[in-house]
């Protein structure tokens, strides 16, 4: 028993333990609050999206922080996951009546399809490196959004019908699943905060399992030094593909969760800005830092909503926060000061 405890808080596993504890405590706290003192409508409406963005940011951190490649199109995978889930959920609406089961099926489908696209896209993307790789991910993000915006998909007694660019569907009864730029309409809302919490746990579990395995070490070695990694027999393409695919699966999961929380959802939601937003969360949390990502996503996602009373000024303040934090975290003066503070603190600790 004592050993397990020691192991959980060892230097190697501390971050993992903190992640799971932090997320679980936050969940319990919020659940208790909801059931006792209650919670404002606004705050409740933020719970599931926050979970989604945490998963999205964690998945992006796998590519940017742990694999070391800049991706500017992550919202594309989120979109694929989202609309796949909407379609699957719409198709199984009558056959699978249990909401939880349908949620699981839809989310699984969304994740898998996003993963497949992640694999297909990784083939050309990983042939490039640096800023060129980044621009190609941006391009793919735009292409995915643009394609989904042009899909019209409906179901009626004759089965599944689809048209592209213009809506030529002539449904007899039945319903539209995707309506071009209008996206998904009339989706059954089946995701909730608890499912969001569970999916964050799954994400954390996958990422930590990866980091503490031969696969994770290979990915990080390819990030730190390509040539050295190859010299010890690590195939760069293979490891980077793995990181990219797992990341797109998780991003797809985030999208699926997100889509099933709203009755309507437009493809335009998953544009360049969403990809950039996720990147901001990751950089703020610290590259490769999982707990940092969770905290920064929560704060940065909720912050603009809390600033709602300031109305027009909120995004301006948000922008200033971004700039100022980047200046501070990169300033030598601030770094020195923090180090001094750190030393002072530790010396005090040692003296006692």
Q: CB nearer to another protein: give 190 or 282.
A: 282
Look up tokens 């996503």; give the residue.
297
Side-chain half-sphere CA neighbours of 342 within 13 A: 6
Question: Using CB under 8 A, which of 168, 327, 336, 342 touches another protein?
Answer: 327
CB atoms within 10 A of CB 72: 23
Complex with another protein: residue 150 or 185, whichever CB lies closer: 150
Closest CA to 208 of 327, 311, 288: 288
Interhelix angle 99-125/130-148, rounded to 10 degrees, is 140
Cα separation, 259 vs 296, in Å, equals 23
What distance in Å separates the CA atoms of residue 313 and residue 310, rounded to the nearest whole number?
Answer: 6
- φ, ψ for residue 179, nearest 5 deg: -125, 65
Considering the rule CB under 8 A, would residue 288 count as an interface residue with another protein? yes
Strands 151-156, 159-164: pairing is antiparallel
Helix (H) or strand (E) holding 28: helix 14-35
d(CA 41, CA 257): 19
Indicate whether 139 belongs to the interface with another protein (CB under 8 A): yes
Q: Which residues contact 147 (CB under 8 A, 6 or more apart)?
A: none
CB of 265 to another protein, least distance (A): 19
> How far apart are CB 283 and another protein at their closest, in Å?
5
Q: Does 231 bind another protein (CB under 8 A)?
A: yes
169 is a site residue for another protein (CB under 8 A): no
Which residue from 315, 339, 341, 342 is in contact with another protein, where contact means CB under 8 A? 315
Complex with another protein: residue 221 or 291, whichever CB lies closer: 221
Q: Which CB sits closer to another protein, 20 or 193?
A: 20
**For another protein, the closer CB: 45 or 212:** 212
Nearer to another protein, 235 or 264 (CB): 235
Rounded to a whole number of angstroms, the minimum distance from the CB of residue 75 to another protein is 14
Q: Which helix (H) or strand (E) holds 154?
A: strand 151-156
C-alpha separations of 270 from 111, 127, 166, 278, 300 in Å: 16, 25, 21, 11, 18
The answer to whether residues 267 and 145 touch, using CB atoms and an 8 Å cutoff, is: yes
Binders of another protein among residues 10 to 69 (CB under 8 A) are: 11-12, 64
Residue 108 touching another protein (CB under 8 A): no
* Least distance CB 325 / another protein (angstroms): 9
First to last CA, the chain: 29
Interface with another protein: number of residues (CB under 8 A) = 70
Whole-number minimum distance, CB 243 to another protein, in Å? 12
- Which residues would be at the binding site for another protein (CB under 8 A)? 11-12, 64, 70, 124, 127-128, 131-132, 134-136, 138-140, 142-143, 146-147, 149-150, 165, 205-206, 209-210, 212-215, 217-218, 220-221, 223-225, 227-235, 242, 272, 276, 279-280, 283-284, 287-288, 312-313, 315-316, 318-323, 326-327, 329-331
């Amino acid at each position: 028993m004592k050993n397990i405890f020691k192991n959980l808080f060892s230097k190697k596993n501390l971050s993992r333990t903190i992640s799971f504890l932090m997320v679980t405590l936050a969940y319990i706290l919020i659940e208790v609050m909801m059931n006792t003192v209650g919670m404002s409508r606004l705050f409740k409406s933020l719970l599931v999206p926050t979970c989604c963005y945490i998963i999205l940011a964690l998945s992006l951190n796998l590519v940017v922080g742990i694999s070391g490649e800049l991706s500017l199109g992550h919202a594309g995978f989120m979109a694929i996951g989202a609309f796949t889930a909407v379609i699957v959920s719409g198709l199984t609406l009558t056959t699978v009546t249990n909401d939880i089961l349908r949620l699981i099926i839809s989310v699984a489908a969304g994740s898998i399809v996003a993963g497949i696209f992640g694999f297909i896209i990784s083939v050309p993307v990983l042939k490039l490196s640096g800023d060129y790789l980044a621009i190609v991910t941006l391009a793919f993000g735009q292409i995915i959004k643009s394609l989904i915006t042009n899909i019209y998909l409906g179901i009626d007694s004759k089965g599944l019908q689809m048209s592209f660019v213009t809506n030529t569907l002539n449904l007899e009864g039945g319903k539209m699943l995707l309506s071009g730029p209008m996206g998904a309409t009339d989706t059954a809302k089946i995701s909730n905060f608890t499912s969001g919490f569970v999916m964050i746990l799954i994400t954390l579990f996958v990422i930590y399992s990866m980091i503490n395995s031969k696969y994770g070490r290979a990915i990080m070695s390819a990030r730190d030094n390509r040539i050295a990694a190859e010299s010890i027999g690590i195939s760069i393409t293979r490891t980077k593909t793995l990181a990219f695919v797992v990341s797109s699966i998780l991003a797809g999961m985030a999208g699926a969760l997100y889509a099933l929380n709203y009755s309507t959802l437009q493809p335009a939601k998953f544009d360049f800005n969403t990809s950039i937003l996720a990147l901001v969360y990751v950089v703020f949390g610290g590259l490769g830092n999982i707990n940092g990502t969770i905290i920064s996503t929560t704060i940065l996602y909720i912050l603009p909503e809390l600033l709602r009373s300031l109305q027009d000024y909120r995004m301006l303040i948000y922008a200033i926060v971004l700039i100022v934090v980047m200046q501070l975290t990169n300033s030598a003066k601030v770094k020195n000061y923090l180090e001094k503070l750190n030393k002072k603190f530790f010396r005090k600790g040692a003296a006692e």
